[in-house]
Structure 1
Amino acid sequence: MDIFTAGRDFVRREARLVENRLFSAVFDGADPAGVVDALRGYQNADGGFGHGLEPDKRCPDSLGLDVETAFDILLASGARDETMVRRAADWLASVATTEGAVALAAPVIENYPRASHMSEWTYEPGLNPTAGLVGRLHELGVDHPWRSLAGSWCAAELDRGLPTEAHSFHEALIFLEHTGDVDLDRIREWLPKLSFYRADADDPSYGVTPLHLASTPDSPWRALFSEAQLDAHLDRLIADQQDDGGWAITWEPPGQAATLEYRGIVTVGALRTLKAYNRL
């Protein structure tokens, strides 16, 4: 069975409705309005997203990480619902610091099953996820007072220095792609300083790879990497497909359902990346 068919069958068999609607929009030409419909079940009355949309915590309350996940799904599908996005931005404004920064999560997650890494550090407002959320709002084409406030805070933070952790760095790149001058030399020189950055395609450990930073060939960050680097990571991505057709994850979600949900997310993501780079 070929890569695509095996991955498709895994998504159909094991993934959530929202990933199935996303898959259909991306690969089958389905109306992306179906993705918006699936996301509605995760949006709370306060405008934020919760209910484990990002599966590492089984918390129904609105959280920054779930808003980010919703924005990513909208962007991946090509769907746009300005009312949905504005309500989420209103919620971000309601929980932000006076400067506009927001956190990934909140102590409320402690009342629900969660992965071990979802702990106190996720309660601290920071560039992760604030910078990425601002960048995603730009890409979604939605202006909002919180976007301006938080964008000013992010720009000031990045003027002081780039993050040294790869996830925060990735969020910063999403912000810079849409809001600032792209200084490739500065970014390239910073990559070796990052924790959780996995430059070597043969490294089996968890981390952010060049394909996370340049998930499509038209990304401005593709120029950071040689063709040989990208080819090696694409080869590794293909090799990492499991016998059941899905891709594995390298951390421990809070349960079996969350594990399958995250495998559905990364499987759709892997297929999208391979499609973008003409590897399917």
Structure 2
Amino acid sequence: MLITDDTIERAGRFLWTSGRVLEQRRFVHLFGAQGVQGVSDVEGSEVEHAPDGVLAALRAYQTPDGAYAYGLEPDVRGPLPQPATLRAAMPILAETDALHGPDVARLCDWLASVAGEGGGVPPA
């Protein structure tokens, strides 16, 4: 199947009307504002192609200890972080070039705090 500009525009329109804020911001970061023209962010300026919106949306799922929970990974909806949420957060942090930032440092600190002596983490 060929992915056309029309396909991307329709996907953007769908995500903007039905997706979580995180997916909306990821789409705009990765593909631009196709399909979401005229949509403004909270401050009223046009939605930007920058990773800042993605990181702000991701932080809504961050726990006080630096891990992630609250439905970032759809099967883990509660307030307690699990290894599955780490697997969901890392690709997002990578696509926004944030792997060397403070959010990842806090996430690694959390991971070290729950890892066993052999380095394993508890199952979800």
Cα shift readout 1:115-163 (whole Å, capped 9, x = no counterpart): xxxxxxxxxxxxxxxxxxxxxxxxxxxxxxxxxxxxxxxxxxxxxxxxx
Which residue among 7, 16, 19 is the counterpart of 1:3? 7
Residue matched to 1:101: 120
For 1:33-48, what aligned pairs fall within 5 Å after superposition?
33-48=52-67
Q: 1:35·1:79 contact (CA, 8 Å) conserved in 2?
A: no
Q: 1:18·1:38 contact (CA, 8 Å) conserved in 2?
A: yes
Hey, which bits of structure 1, 4+ residues long, moved more than 6 A?
none
Unaligned runs of 5+ in 1: 106-280
Which AA in structure 1 matches 2:53? Answer: G
Deviation, 1:77, is: 3.3
Matched, 1:68 2:50: no
Matched, 1:19 2:38: no
Residue matched to 1:126: none
TM-score by length of 2: 0.75
CA distance in structure 1 between the aligned counterparts of 2:116 and 2:6, rounded to whole angstroms: 49
- Larger helix percent: 1
Cα distance change on mapping 1:82 and 1:69 into 2, 3 Å: same
Pairs aligned (count): 105
Q: 2:76·2:85 contact (CA, 8 Å) conserved in 1?
A: no
User: Taking every aligned residue pair, what percent have the same amino acid on both sides?
Assistant: 38
Deviation, 1:81, is: 5.9
Which AA in structure 1 matches 2:82? Answer: L
CA distance in structure 2 between the aligned counterparts of 1:37 and 1:15, rounded to whole angstroms: 16
Larger Rg: 1
Tell which has more relative contact order, 1 or 2 (C-alpha 8 A, sep 6+): 1
Which residue among 76, 93, 97 is the counterpart of 1:78? 97
For 1:136-215, what aligned pairs fall within 5 Å after superposition?
none
TM-score by length of 1: 0.35
CA distance in structure 2 between the aligned counterparts of 1:31 and 1:86, rounded to whole angstroms: 21
